């Protein structure tokens, strides 16, 4: 019986987890900015997720669960510690010191932005903002899902997103002038 359940669980894990592979890899590469580290991170994520699959609660958000494992693995990696030192993560005081640029018509950037420009701007964005933007815009996660993936309250997701967008705009404007 236990074996049968294990087999069913393993098959379900494969079915649930493999379709996320490409996007998890893309996200991992955006976080690490390095192919080899992204590959290690994805492999580690799948290994940890398979191991912990029995603790995953069926019916809850599997995608957010996988992203959370990937992100926690990243935070514990050398690249993660460098990009987001311990203490910075979830430190609302240090985040709130970054101003939210008022969004006035003068700051409006009309028209679709050049992809290369967006790549450069995202590359420059601090990881803490890059990840929340990617989860919202590219993964099209709801605030609730992002909250589960990042392990922060929804209010933090909203303020972080707002600051991330302002910061991205500032970078885009600077790059456009260069």
Helices and strands in the chain, H and E counts: 10, 0
Q: If binding is defined by CB under 8 A, does position 22 make contact with another protein? A: yes
Smallest distance, another protein to C-beta of residue 87, A? 27
Q: If binding is defined by CB under 8 A, does position 106 make contact with another protein? A: no
Smallest distance, another protein to C-beta of residue 86, A? 27
How far is 29 from 79, CA to CA, in rounded Å? 11
Q: Which is nearer to another protein, 86 or 109 (CB)?
A: 109
Q: Which is nearer to another protein, 83 or 122 (CB)?
A: 122
CA of 164: how far to CAs of 49, 95, 122, 127, 147, in Å? 29, 10, 10, 10, 15
* Segment lying near another protein (by CB under 8 A), choices 35-43, 60-68, 73-81, 89-97: 35-43
Residue count of the chain, please give it: 178
Q: If binding is defined by CB under 8 A, does position 143 make contact with another protein? A: yes
Q: Compose the 54-93 pattern: x for residues touching another protein by CB under 8 A, - for all others.
A: ----------------------------------------
* Segment lying near another protein (by CB under 8 A), choices 55-63, 75-83, 90-98, 103-111: 103-111
Report DSSP letters for 85-113, one per residue. Answer: -TTTTT-HHHHHTS------GGG---SPP
CA of 40: how far to CAs of 24, 31, 45, 46, in Å? 12, 12, 8, 10
Residue with tokens 């932005």: 113
The helix-helix angle for 35-51 and 2-17 (nearest 10°) equals: 150
The residues of the shown chain that bind another protein, judged by CB under 8 A, are 3, 6-7, 10-11, 13-14, 17-18, 21-23, 25-26, 29-30, 35, 38-39, 42-43, 46-47, 50, 103, 105, 108-113, 115, 118-119, 122, 133-134, 136-138, 140, 142-143, 158, 161-162, 165, 168-169
């Amino acid at each position: 019986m236990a074996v049968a359940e294990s087999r069913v669980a393993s098959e379900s894990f494969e079915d649930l987890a493999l379709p996320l592979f490409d996007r998890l890899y893309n996200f991992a590469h955006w976080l690490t900015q390095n192919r080899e580290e992204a590959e290690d991170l994805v492999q580690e994520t799948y290994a940890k997720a398979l191991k912990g699959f029995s603790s995953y609660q069926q019916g809850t958000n599997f995608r957010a669960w996988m992203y959370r494992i990937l992100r926690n693995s990243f935070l514990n990696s050398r690249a993660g510690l460098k990009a987001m030192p311990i203490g910075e993560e979830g430190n609302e005081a240090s985040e709130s010191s970054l101003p939210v640029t008022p969004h006035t018509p003068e700051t409006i950037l009309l028209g679709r932005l050049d992809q290369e420009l967006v790549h450069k701007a995202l590359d420059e964005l601090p990881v803490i903002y890059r990840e929340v933007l990617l989860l919202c815009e590219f993964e099209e996660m709801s605030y609730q899902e992002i909250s589960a993936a990042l392990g922060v309250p929804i209010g933090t997701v909203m303020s972080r997103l707002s600051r991330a967008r302002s910061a991205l705009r500032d970078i885009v404007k600077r790059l456009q002038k260069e």
